[in-house]
Structure 1
Protein backbone atom coordinates (compact mmCIF):
# COMPACT_ATOMS: atom_id res chain seq x y z
CA UNK A 1 0.00 0.00 0.00
CA UNK A 2 1.20 3.51 -0.79
CA UNK A 3 3.73 2.30 -3.34
CA UNK A 4 3.90 4.15 -6.63
CA UNK A 5 3.24 2.26 -9.86
CA UNK A 6 6.25 1.09 -11.83
CA UNK A 7 6.84 1.96 -15.48
CA UNK A 8 7.24 -1.17 -17.63
CA UNK A 9 8.22 -1.71 -21.25
CA UNK A 10 6.50 -4.74 -22.76
CA UNK A 11 7.63 -5.93 -26.20
CA UNK A 12 5.53 -8.20 -28.44
CA UNK A 13 6.08 -9.56 -31.94
CA UNK A 14 4.14 -7.93 -34.75
CA UNK A 15 2.46 -4.64 -35.47
CA UNK A 16 -0.60 -4.09 -33.26
CA UNK A 17 -3.42 -2.31 -35.03
CA UNK A 18 -5.83 0.16 -33.45
CA UNK A 19 -8.29 -2.54 -32.36
CA UNK A 20 -5.70 -4.55 -30.41
CA UNK A 21 -4.18 -1.39 -28.93
CA UNK A 22 -7.54 -0.51 -27.33
CA UNK A 23 -6.97 -3.50 -25.01
CA UNK A 24 -4.11 -1.54 -23.39
CA UNK A 25 -5.43 2.02 -22.83
CA UNK A 26 -2.93 2.88 -20.08
CA UNK A 27 0.06 2.15 -22.33
CA UNK A 28 1.89 4.28 -24.87
CA UNK A 29 3.04 2.33 -27.91
CA UNK A 30 5.70 2.32 -30.57
CA UNK A 31 6.19 -0.04 -33.50
CA UNK A 32 9.81 -0.82 -34.31
CA UNK A 33 11.19 -2.76 -37.26
CA UNK A 34 14.32 -4.83 -37.33
CA UNK A 35 15.81 -7.94 -38.88
CA UNK A 36 13.39 -10.06 -36.84
CA UNK A 37 10.39 -8.15 -38.27
CA UNK A 38 8.04 -5.66 -36.65
CA UNK A 39 7.59 -5.49 -32.90
CA UNK A 40 5.30 -3.34 -30.79
CA UNK A 41 6.61 -1.83 -27.57
CA UNK A 42 4.00 -0.95 -24.94
CA UNK A 43 5.17 1.40 -22.18
CA UNK A 44 3.08 2.30 -19.18
CA UNK A 45 2.52 2.27 -15.43
CA UNK A 46 1.72 -1.00 -13.67
CA UNK A 47 0.49 -0.68 -10.07
CA UNK A 48 1.73 -4.05 -8.79
CA UNK A 49 2.94 -7.50 -9.80
CA UNK A 50 -0.61 -8.88 -9.98
CA UNK A 51 -1.50 -6.21 -12.55
CA UNK A 52 1.65 -7.07 -14.53
CA UNK A 53 0.59 -10.72 -14.66
CA UNK A 54 -2.85 -9.52 -15.77
CA UNK A 55 -1.32 -7.66 -18.72
CA UNK A 56 0.77 -10.72 -19.63
CA UNK A 57 -2.30 -12.99 -19.46
CA UNK A 58 -4.22 -10.52 -21.64
CA UNK A 59 -1.42 -10.61 -24.25
CA UNK A 60 -1.61 -14.42 -24.24
CA UNK A 61 -5.41 -14.40 -24.52
CA UNK A 62 -5.12 -12.17 -27.60
CA UNK A 63 -2.64 -14.60 -29.17
CA UNK A 64 0.27 -12.17 -29.03
CA UNK A 65 3.85 -13.43 -28.70
CA UNK A 66 5.60 -11.85 -25.72
CA UNK A 67 9.24 -11.01 -26.45
CA UNK A 68 10.34 -9.10 -23.33
CA UNK A 69 9.17 -7.37 -20.16
CA UNK A 70 11.45 -4.73 -18.70
CA UNK A 71 11.05 -2.56 -15.62
CA UNK A 72 11.91 0.97 -16.73
CA UNK A 73 11.45 3.16 -13.64
CA UNK A 74 9.15 3.91 -10.72
CA UNK A 75 6.34 6.33 -11.55
CA UNK A 76 5.98 9.48 -9.47
CA UNK A 77 2.59 10.55 -8.13
CA UNK A 78 3.90 14.11 -7.73
CA UNK A 79 4.41 14.56 -11.48
CA UNK A 80 2.27 17.56 -12.49
CA UNK A 81 -0.29 17.17 -15.25
CA UNK A 82 -0.42 19.85 -17.93
CA UNK A 83 -4.23 19.71 -18.00
CA UNK A 84 -5.77 18.01 -14.96
CA UNK A 85 -8.77 15.87 -15.83
CA UNK A 86 -8.53 16.52 -19.56
CA UNK A 87 -7.22 13.39 -21.26
CA UNK A 88 -3.99 11.45 -21.01
CA UNK A 89 -0.75 12.95 -19.80
CA UNK A 90 1.92 13.29 -22.51
CA UNK A 91 4.67 10.68 -22.47
CA UNK A 92 7.90 11.73 -20.79
CA UNK A 93 10.69 12.70 -23.22
CA UNK A 94 12.19 9.69 -24.94
CA UNK A 95 9.09 7.49 -24.53
CA UNK A 96 6.58 6.62 -27.25
CA UNK A 97 3.38 8.64 -27.43
CA UNK A 98 0.23 7.52 -25.53
CA UNK A 99 -2.67 5.99 -27.45
CA UNK A 100 -4.99 8.58 -28.95
CA UNK A 101 -2.45 11.43 -28.95
CA UNK A 102 -2.01 13.24 -32.23
CA UNK A 103 1.49 12.98 -33.70
Structure 2
Protein backbone atom coordinates (compact mmCIF):
# COMPACT_ATOMS: atom_id res chain seq x y z
CA UNK A 1 0.00 0.00 0.00
CA UNK A 2 1.29 3.46 -0.92
CA UNK A 3 -0.03 6.55 0.89
CA UNK A 4 0.34 9.48 -1.50
CA UNK A 5 -0.48 13.15 -1.93
CA UNK A 6 -0.85 14.51 -5.46
CA UNK A 7 -1.31 18.20 -6.27
CA UNK A 8 -2.56 19.46 -9.62
CA UNK A 9 -3.29 22.88 -11.07
CA UNK A 10 -7.00 23.14 -11.75
CA UNK A 11 -10.24 22.11 -10.14
CA UNK A 12 -11.46 18.54 -9.77
CA UNK A 13 -14.80 17.73 -8.14
CA UNK A 14 -15.17 15.19 -5.33
CA UNK A 15 -17.30 13.00 -7.61
CA UNK A 16 -14.02 11.88 -9.24
CA UNK A 17 -12.91 10.13 -6.04
CA UNK A 18 -14.48 6.77 -6.99
CA UNK A 19 -12.72 6.83 -10.36
CA UNK A 20 -9.39 7.68 -8.72
CA UNK A 21 -9.08 4.75 -6.26
CA UNK A 22 -11.08 6.53 -3.54
CA UNK A 23 -8.52 9.30 -2.97
CA UNK A 24 -9.77 12.26 -0.92
CA UNK A 25 -10.12 15.33 -3.13
CA UNK A 26 -9.82 18.89 -1.84
CA UNK A 27 -9.83 21.96 -4.10
CA UNK A 28 -8.43 25.36 -3.19
CA UNK A 29 -9.07 28.59 -5.06
CA UNK A 30 -6.09 30.91 -5.23
CA UNK A 31 -5.48 34.41 -6.49
CA UNK A 32 -3.61 33.14 -9.56
CA UNK A 33 -5.04 29.65 -10.08
CA UNK A 34 -7.08 26.83 -8.57
CA UNK A 35 -5.30 23.82 -7.13
CA UNK A 36 -6.57 20.37 -6.17
CA UNK A 37 -5.01 17.93 -3.72
CA UNK A 38 -5.71 14.19 -3.88
CA UNK A 39 -4.59 12.15 -0.90
CA UNK A 40 -4.94 8.61 0.38
CA UNK A 41 -3.79 5.03 0.06
CA UNK A 42 -3.21 3.34 -3.28
CA UNK A 43 -2.67 -0.41 -3.65
CA UNK A 44 0.57 -0.17 -5.64
CA UNK A 45 2.82 1.81 -7.99
CA UNK A 46 0.66 0.89 -11.00
CA UNK A 47 -2.40 2.47 -9.34
CA UNK A 48 -0.40 5.65 -8.65
CA UNK A 49 0.67 5.78 -12.30
CA UNK A 50 -2.94 5.23 -13.37
CA UNK A 51 -4.12 8.18 -11.28
CA UNK A 52 -1.38 10.41 -12.72
CA UNK A 53 -2.31 9.33 -16.26
CA UNK A 54 -6.01 10.06 -15.65
CA UNK A 55 -5.18 13.52 -14.30
CA UNK A 56 -3.09 14.19 -17.41
CA UNK A 57 -5.94 13.00 -19.63
CA UNK A 58 -8.12 15.60 -17.86
CA UNK A 59 -5.55 18.30 -18.78
CA UNK A 60 -4.70 18.99 -15.15
CA UNK A 61 -1.08 20.12 -14.76
CA UNK A 62 0.83 18.09 -12.18
CA UNK A 63 2.29 20.27 -9.40
CA UNK A 64 3.72 17.58 -7.11
CA UNK A 65 3.56 13.92 -6.15
CA UNK A 66 4.56 12.86 -2.64
CA UNK A 67 4.77 9.33 -1.31
CA UNK A 68 4.06 9.82 2.38
CA UNK A 69 4.52 6.21 3.45
CA UNK A 70 4.78 2.78 1.93
CA UNK A 71 3.92 -0.55 3.51
CA UNK A 72 7.05 -2.64 3.37
CA UNK A 73 6.62 -5.77 1.35
CA UNK A 74 7.69 -8.95 3.11
CA UNK A 75 11.29 -9.73 2.42
CA UNK A 76 12.14 -12.96 0.67
CA UNK A 77 14.78 -14.90 2.56
CA UNK A 78 17.87 -15.56 0.53
CA UNK A 79 19.08 -19.11 0.16
CA UNK A 80 22.73 -19.85 0.67
CA UNK A 81 24.54 -23.09 0.00
CA UNK A 82 26.67 -24.07 2.95
CA UNK A 83 29.26 -25.96 0.88
Q: Which band: TM-score by shorter chain?
A: 0.5 to 0.7
- 1:14-58 CA distance string (max 9 Å, x none): 121345455325111112244542200000111111111111111
SS in 2 for 1:56: helix
What's the RMSD between the two structures over aligned residues? Answer: 2.0
2:11 alignment partner in structure 1: 15
Q: TM-score by structure 1 length?
A: 0.57
When the two structures are aligned, how many residues end up with a matched partner? 71
Distance across 2 between alignment mates of 1:56 and 1:41? 12
Which one has a bigger Cα radius of gyration? 2
Q: TM-score by structure 2 length?
A: 0.68
- The runs of 5 or more residues in structure 1 that have no matched partner are 76-103
- The runs of 5 or more residues in structure 2 that have no matched partner are 72-83
The verdict on how the C-alpha distance between 1:34 and 1:61 changes in structure 2, with shifts beyond 3 A counting, is same
